[in-house]
């Protein structure tokens, strides 16, 4: 089982969009996929067509109990054959009150999600993190094998990425096994000179860590708004191109999860 946390302390860069795109791409090829939404905004939950979930990830974060996440797994509301749809651990706005409570645990509550994940059986797990580096995101990073940094090619994106990479390094040092980067996913790449400039800055700073980009497209927004994967938007202009970009990104992420962290080929 490969567990990938999608992170950036900035909101609106596309963590949720890329989570849904990768989950759609993975599930469509028969990869057994789970999306864990740990953002109280619950955008991945609604993007997956789950409304009023009977149970959320908060159940698993409330106590330290191995395997408890199994009780929280729901079917996504996306249409299609069950074997080719991702499963979901939902979030809800109520999760926002969990973070201050986690901070009160005298033994530290960084790895509740990791413990809760024990014994689950999926091929790929994507964790959609909130836009902060608080205890929810830290739980996501402790539970993951790989961190996938999502960024837009905007002003000072390179500085924001540097800050996350420092956090990933610090968490890696506190774990039994290292936490490596799956890479940097550049999302919402536009055709403007400005976007190209900041994209180039990222490529120069991080070279081979920069993964194939996802371009800015109305079809991507539409898919989320309709709670559909972009892979199911049919002949809508740009949908096939966006789906192909998520497929290409998924291939690189899967490749990264197969490289031994800290090994000679590790990133």
Least separation in angstroms between CB 187 and ligand ADP? 5
Decide which of Mg ion, ligand ADP, none touches 24; Cβ closer than 5 to 8 Å per partner kind: none
- Of 78-117, binders to ligand ADP (CB under 6 A) are none
> Can residue 17 be called a binding residue for ligand ADP (CB under 6 A)?
yes
Least separation in angstroms between CB 215 and Mg ion? 19
Q: Can you spell out the DSSP letters for 178-189?
A: --EEEEEEEEEE
User: Interface with ligand ADP by CB under 6 A: which range of 28-36, 66-74, 209-217, 251-259?
Assistant: 209-217
**Which whole-number Å values give the CA distances from 81 to 16, 63, 77, 78, 86, in the listed order?**
23, 34, 11, 9, 10
Q: How far is the first Cα of the chain from the last one, in angstroms, to the nearest whole number?
A: 19
Residue in 119, 156, 161, 123 with CA at minimum distance from that of residue 7? 161
Q: Which helix (H) or strand (E) holds 215?
A: strand 214-215
Least separation in angstroms between CB 237 and ligand ADP? 13
> Can residue 12 be called a binding residue for ligand ADP (CB under 6 A)?
yes
Place of tokens 């080719």: 84
> Can residue 2 be called a binding residue for ligand ADP (CB under 6 A)?
no
Residue pair 143/159 in contact (Cβ under 8 Å)? The answer is: no
Query: Residues 179-208 vs ligand ADP: string with x where CB under 6 A?
Result: --------xx--------------------
Residue pair 230/218 in contact (Cβ under 8 Å)? The answer is: no
Least separation in angstroms between CB 110 and ligand ADP? 22
Q: Which helix (H) or strand (E) holds 103?
A: none
162 three-state secondary structure: helix
- Of 215-244, binders to ligand ADP (CB under 6 A) are 216-217, 220-221, 224
The contact set with Mg ion (CB under 5 A) reads 15-16, 43
The contact set with ligand ADP (CB under 6 A) reads 11-17, 43, 131, 187-188, 214, 216-217, 220-221, 224
């Amino acid at each position: 089982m490969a567990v990938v946390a999608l992170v950036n302390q900035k909101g609106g860069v596309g963590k949720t969009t890329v989570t849904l795109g990768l989950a759609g791409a993975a599930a469509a090829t028969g990869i057994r996929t789970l999306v864990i939404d740990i953002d109280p905004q619950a955008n991945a939950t609604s993007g997956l067509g789950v409304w009023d979930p009977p149970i959320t990830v908060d159940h698993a974060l409330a106590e330290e109990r191995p395997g408890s996440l199994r009780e929280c797994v729901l079917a996504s509301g996306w249409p299609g054959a069950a074997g080719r749809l991702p499963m979901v651990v939902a979030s809800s706005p109520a999760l926002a009150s969990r973070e201050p409570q986690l901070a009160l645990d005298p033994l530290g509550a960084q790895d509740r999600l990791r413990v809760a994940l024990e014994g689950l059986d999926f091929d790929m797990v994507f964790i959609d993190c909130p836009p902060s580096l608080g205890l929810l995101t830290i739980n996501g990073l402790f539970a993951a094998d790989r961190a996938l940094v999502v960024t837009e090619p905007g002003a000072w994106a390179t500085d924001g990425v540097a800050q996350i990479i420092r956090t990933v390094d610090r968490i890696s040092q506190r774990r039994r096994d290292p936490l490596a980067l799956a890479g940097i996913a550049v999302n919402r790449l536009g055709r403007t000179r400005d976007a190209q400039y900041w994209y180039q800055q990222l490529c120069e700073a991080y070279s081979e860590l920069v993964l194939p980009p996802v371009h800015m497209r109305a079809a991507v927004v539409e898919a989320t708004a309709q709670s559909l994967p972009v892979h199911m938007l049919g002949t809508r202009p740009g949908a096939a191109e966006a789906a192909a970009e998520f497929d290409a990104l998924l291939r690189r992420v899967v490749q990264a999860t197969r490289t031994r962290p800290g090994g000679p080929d590790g990133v």
